[in-house]
């Protein structure tokens, strides 16, 4: 389909080498994110006196993994001019941008004031990246959920002043799951501003099952899907979609194959444990299929057609995961558009219309 508009609902920038000394307010500059060489000779993030992700031991981060396949190398994650060239190469019109190294670490910082300062600095940096071509490069706000009141203020700045189209959160932060009442003002503000909350997770950070493994294969395979399962369970079972009926939530970075299984399992538990989730009024699957919820799929998911049939083809958005280790760049788009089992109407929804509706772009 030569005239198909393509929106990448989950692409990435790499902010680790940003000028943090310039971006951060003076009191926080001595605590700025810094890249150091770890014991294994690989670069690692140093923040709050800790190495993220850990080069050895349980919770191993994929940054130290010996990849057997990597995407084509490019500087586009930190160079927006090259990024636009990479988008042209794939035929992507618009890319929605999430961070990487610092972005994925921020939800777990113990110094709440530092977390707020870094979030503010990151968003300012991302704004500069996206301003290169704002019609095509869209920003996603990073906020410090450790301090929900400050998160609300930063979200408002990012949407009203910077023009960002969404806000990201991990599936948990500061010991609180996504249904915690402390986060209610955050959801209320996102609903008021009409921007989606994007649940976006990463490996090498505190996550479900990560503390049980010291193998990157095991950690990466489990943490993304398991964290998203917990995230959607808390959003749905915790009544967030009932409390904020115009709020949109997207679950990204884990593919979509897990969604039908989780729908069925949560419905089964709702049948005999309904009194334990008093804030919801219908089976979880009905919320998970509703217009409030979206899921990203990966370009090479063989179960895509089944997921569309079970979940709904209006609920899925294309994600290139540019340019992380498991990205298919520069072949992400063609991996979907060249499939023989997708109709023109389905492709238009998957590659454009659903994401346009999610992000209001």
Reported as a single tens digit per residue, the pLDDT across 255-268 is: 999 999 999 999 99
Convert the pLDDT of each residue in 71-95 to its tens digit.
778 999 999 999 999 999 999 999 9
60 pLDDT higher than 60:
no
1 occurs within a structural domain:
no
57 pLDDT higher than 50:
no
pLDDT at site 157: 99
pLDDT cut 90: percent of the chain above it: 83
Q: What is the pTM of this model?
A: 0.94
274 occurs within a structural domain:
yes
331 pLDDT higher than 60:
yes
Convert the pLDDT of each residue in 241-259 to its tens digit.
999 999 999 999 999 999 9
Residue linked to tokens 């219908």:
282
pLDDT at site 38: 75
SS (H, E, C) the chain: CCCCCCEEEEEECCCCCCCHHHHCCHHHHHHCCEEEECCCCCEEEEECCEEECCCCCCCCCHHHCCCCCCCCCCCCCCCHHHHHHHHHHHCCCEEEEECCHHHHHHHHCCCHHHHHHHHHHHHHHHHHHHCCCCCCEEEEEECCCCCHHHHHHHHHHHHHCCCCCEEEECCEECCEECCCHHHHHHHHHHHHHCCCEEEECCCCCCCCCHHHCCCHHHHHHHHHHHHHHHHHHHHHHCCHHHHCCCCCEEEECCCCCHHHHHHHHHHHHHHHHHHHCCCCCCCHHHHHCCCCEEEEECCCCCCHHHHHHHHCCCCEEECCCCCCCCCCCCCHHHHHHCCCCCCHHHHHHHHHHHHHHHHCC
Q: Domain of 241: which CATH number?
A: 3.20.20.140
163 occurs within a structural domain:
yes
2 occurs within a structural domain:
no
Q: How far apart are CA 115 and CA 133, in angstroms?
A: 28
pLDDT at site 87: 98
Convert the pLDDT of each residue in 263-307 to its tens digit.
999 999 999 999 999 999 999 999 999 999 999 999 999 999 999
Give the number of domains in the chain.
Answer: 1
181 occurs within a structural domain:
yes
59 pLDDT higher than 60:
no
Host domain of residue 292: 7-359
Q: How large is the average pLDDT for residues 138-145? A: 99
pLDDT at site 325: 80
Assign 58 a pLDDT band (cuts: 50, 70, 90). very low
């Amino acid at each position: 389909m030569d005239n198909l508009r393509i929106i990448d609902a989950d692409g990435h920038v790499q902010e680790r080498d940003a000028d943090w000394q310039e971006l951060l307010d003076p009191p926080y500059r001595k605590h700025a994110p810094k890249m150091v060489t770890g014991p294994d000779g690989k670069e690692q993030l140093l923040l709050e006196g800790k190495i993220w992700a850990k080069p050895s031991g349980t919770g191993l981060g994929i940054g130290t993994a010996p990849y057997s396949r990597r995407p084509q190398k490019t500087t586009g994650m930190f160079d927006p001019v090259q990024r636009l060239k990479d988008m042209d190469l794939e035929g992507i019109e618009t890319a929605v941008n999430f961070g990487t190294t610092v972005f994925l670490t921020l939800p777990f910082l113990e110094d709440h004031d530092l977390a707020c300062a870094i979030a503010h600095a990151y968003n300012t940096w991302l704004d500069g990246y996206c301003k290169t071509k704002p019609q095509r490069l869209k920003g996603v706000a990073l906020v410090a959920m450790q301090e929900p009141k400050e998160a609300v203020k930063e979200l408002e700045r990012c949407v009203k002043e910077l023009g960002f189209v969404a806000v990201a959160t991990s599936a948990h932060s500061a010991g609180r799951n996504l249904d915690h009442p402390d986060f209610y003002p955050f959801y209320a503000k996102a609903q008021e501003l009409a921007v989606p909350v994007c649940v976006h997770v990463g490996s090498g950070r505190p996550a479900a099952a990560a503390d049980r493994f010291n193998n990157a294969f095991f950690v990466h395979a489990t943490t993304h899907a398991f964290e998203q399962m917990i995230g959607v369970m808390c959003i749905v079972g915790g009544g967030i979609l009932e409390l904020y009926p115009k709020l949109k939530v997207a679950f990204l970075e884990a593919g979509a194959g897990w969604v039908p299984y989780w729908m069925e399992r949560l419905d089964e538990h709702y049948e005999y444990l309904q009194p334990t989730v008093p804030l919801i009024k219908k089976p979880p699957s009905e919320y998970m299929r509703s217009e409030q919820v979206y899921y990203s799929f990966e370009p090479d998911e063989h179960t895509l057609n089944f997921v569309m049939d079970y979940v709904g083809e209006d609920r899925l958005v294309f994600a290139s995961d540019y340019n992380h280790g498991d990205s298919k760049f520069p072949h992400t788009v063609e991996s979907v558009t060249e499939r023989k089992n997708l109709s023109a109407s389905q492709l238009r929804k998957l590659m454009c219309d659903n994401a346009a509706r999610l992000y209001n772009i």
